[in-house]
């Protein structure tokens, strides 16, 4: 067997014509598939960028909310500490004022007691003097002595 083969020329030309007609159609379909592939890829890239941008925006919003929440908690904590300091200071000042007022009242009452004792002594001396003079002059006591002597 040799490497040659007999082929019907007419059939080969028909096949070549069919191939010439089919190849441009196949090339056109391949080009359309490539165009569709590019459109799908472009749409996918646009959607991916949009999704990424949206995710970044949501992340930043949550981060900002978290920062705001953190700052609000810090402000609340600071306000509570300040309120506690003010309350403690007010209580300490009130206690000091009460202690001061009690000490003043005690000093005033002791001074008043001393003055009353002095007045009581003067009154007693006056009564005794008058009672003694009355006895000497009249021999009777017109004013009865106080029962609590």
The region of weakest confidence among 51-60, 83-92, 121-130, 133-142 is: 133-142
Q: Give 42-68 pLDDT, tens digit per residue.
A: 999 999 999 999 999 998 999 889 998
Taken as a whole, the chain contains a residue count of: 149
Within a domain: 56 = yes
| Dist CA 34 CA 36 (whole Å) | 5
83 within a domain of the structure (yes/no): yes
Give the domain extent around 86. 10-111
CA–CA dist 55, 47 (Å, integer): 12
pLDDT average, residue stretch 67-79: 93
Q: Residue for token digits 């007693």?
A: 124
In contact, 29 and 22? CB cutoff 8 Å: no
Mean pLDDT over the full length of the chain: 86
pLDDT for the residue numbered 2: 64
Q: Is residue 25 part of a domain?
A: yes
Residue 6: the pLDDT is 80
Q: Is the pLDDT of residue 141 over 60?
A: no
CA dihedral in degrees (53, 59, 64, 69; nearest 10)? Answer: 160
Residue 71 lies in a domain: yes
Does a structural domain hold residue 135? no
Q: Is residue 32 in some structural domain?
A: yes
- Please give the residue that has the higher pLDDT: either 139 or 41: 41
Domain membership of residue 2 (yes or no) is no
Per the structure block, which two tokens stand in for 120? 């009581």
CB neighbour list of residue 75: distance below 8 Å, 6 or more residues apart: none
Looking at the domain assignment, is residue 93 inside a domain? yes
pLDDT at 145: 60
DSSP single-letter state for residue 143: S
* CA distance linking residue 111 with residue 20, whole number of Å: 135
At 32, the pLDDT band (50, 70, 90 cuts) reads confident
Q: What is the DSSP string of 85-141?
A: HHHHHHHHHHHHHHHHHHHHHHHHHHHHHHHHHHHHHHHHHHHHHHHHHHHHHHSS-
Token pair, residue 146, equals 């106080």
> How many domains is the chain partitioned into structurally?
1
Alpha-carbon distance of 103 to 123, in angstroms, equals 30
């Amino acid at each position: 067997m040799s490497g040659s083969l007999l082929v019907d020329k007419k059939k080969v030309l028909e096949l070549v014509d069919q191939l010439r007609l089919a190849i441009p159609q196949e090339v056109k379909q391949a080009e359309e598939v490539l165009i569709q592939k590019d459109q799908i890829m472009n749409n996918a890239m646009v959607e991916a960028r949009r999704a990424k941008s949206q995710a970044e925006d949501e992340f930043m919003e949550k981060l900002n909310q978290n920062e705001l929440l953190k700052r609000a908690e810090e402000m609340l904590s600071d306000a509570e500490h300040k309120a506690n300091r003010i309350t403690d200071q007010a209580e300490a000042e009130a206690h000091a004022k009460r202690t001061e007022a009690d000490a003043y009242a005690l000093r005033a009452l002791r001074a008043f007691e001393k003055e009353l004792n002095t007045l009581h002594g003067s009154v007693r001396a006056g009564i005794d003097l008058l009672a003694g003079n009355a006895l000497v002059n009249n021999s009777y006591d017109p004013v009865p002595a106080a029962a609590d002597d």
